[in-house]
Homo-oligomer: A and B are copies of this chain.
Amino acid sequence: MHKTKIKILNRPKLRRPILIEGLPGIGNIGRVCAGYIISRLKAKKFAELYSPHFLPLVILDKNAVSHLLTIDFYYVKGKDRDFIIMTGDSQSVSPQGHYEICGATLDLAKEFGVKDIITIGGFATGKEPKSPNIIAAVNSENAKKKYMKKGINFNKKHDVGTIIGASGILLGLASSRKIDAICLMGETMGFPFLITDPKVAKAVLEVITKITGLKIDLTGLEKTVKEMENIIKKSSEIHRKMLQKIKYAEKPEDIKYIG
């Protein structure tokens, strides 16, 4: 396997789908949000992405069955529009890999007629936030107008200067393909490195509900997060290494945003 490739398992017909990306990152915000949507709305997997830019290992589950690192694509039917949920075990461990993986993802998005993209990440502030705070960024003035109408406040003060990894590169590459995209970043303490922050995840899901009309019952969130944490812990060592590979920072205080 020389290049990233996506294996399509089946071809659902989707109406103007919105792609929601939630991969591992700081605070696990993206991954937890994507995981909760999938489990709560019983989303169905229809495609798998394999890449030589993941760590060269397989994970063992408790049944002694091994699994390649993958990024998986699920779909769920909405009222007027449908949804593709993108989540997985890992992000690229090489700089080039992010571009390759996000490029392949956008090829899939195009094939299934995706019109909008929402990426989810965590933004490490180094201190416990008093109340969950979501920072939004977009990939075009058009996207900004669209989401301002839906109540997103883009005037908040914050220190986010760059968005590293898939949450950022998807925005950037989508722009050149004329797909509107928004990144929702939940402020989180950021250490211990891989602690999951369910409050922030809940706040992000509330925003997603508001801007997409996707109905998600959030009452079970904290319980589900606890269950997910066991799985996440299993692979947390992998994520730690992955994050170290992708952070490009010299001092710990430089690591502000990865998602």
Instruction: List chain A positions with a Cβ less than 8 A from chain B.
Output: 1-3, 7, 48, 50-60, 63-69, 92-100, 102-103, 136-141, 144, 154, 160-165, 168-169, 171-173, 175-176, 183, 234-235, 237-238, 241, 244, 246, 248-250, 254
Contact between B57 and A164, CB atoms less than 8 A apart: yes
Instruction: Known A52-B100, A160-B60; judge A68-B1 contact (CB<8 A).
Output: no
**Residue among A1, A53, A144 with max Cβ neighbours from chain B (10 Å):** A1
14 additional A-B pairs beyond A66-B171, A68-B173, A94-B96, beta carbons within 8 Å, are A1-B102, A2-B3, A51-B99, A52-B96, A53-B96, A55-B95, A56-B92, A57-B162, A58-B139, A58-B162, A64-B144, A68-B169, A94-B95, A237-B254
- In the complex, A171→B64 CA distance in Å? 12
CB-defined contacts of A140 to chain B, threshold 8 Å: 65
Instruction: Known A94-B95, A176-B68; judge A60-B161 contact (CB<8 A).
Output: yes
CB-defined contacts of A171 to chain B, threshold 8 Å: 58, 66
Contact between A241 and B248, CB atoms less than 8 A apart: yes
Q: How close is A211's CB to chain B, nearest CB, in angstroms?
A: 15
- In the complex, A249→B244 CA distance in Å? 11
CB-defined contacts of A57 to chain B, threshold 8 Å: 162-165, 168-169
Contact between B137 and A59, CB atoms less than 8 A apart: no
Contact between A161 and B248, CB atoms less than 8 A apart: no
Closest 8 CB pairs of A and B: A68-B172, A56-B98, A52-B99, A1-B103, A52-B96, A58-B168, A1-B99, A58-B172
CB-defined contacts of A59 to chain B, threshold 8 Å: 161-162
- In the complex, A67→B246 CA distance in Å? 19
CB-defined contacts of A137 to chain B, threshold 8 Å: 60, 64-66
Residue on B with the closest CB to A170? B58
Subset of 10 A-B contacts with CB under 8 Å: A1-B103, A48-B176, A53-B95, A57-B168, A58-B168, A58-B169, A66-B168, A66-B171, A66-B183, A67-B175
- Which one of B55, B58, B246 lies within 8 Å of A248 (CB-CB)? B55
- Which one of B53, B154, B168, B173 lies within 8 Å of A64 (CB-CB)? B154
Contact between A63 and B183, CB atoms less than 8 A apart: no
CB-defined contacts of A172 to chain B, threshold 8 Å: 58, 66-69
Contact between B52 and A95, CB atoms less than 8 A apart: yes
Q: How close is A136's CB to chain B, nearest CB, in angstroms?
A: 6
CB-defined contacts of A141 to chain B, threshold 8 Å: 63, 65
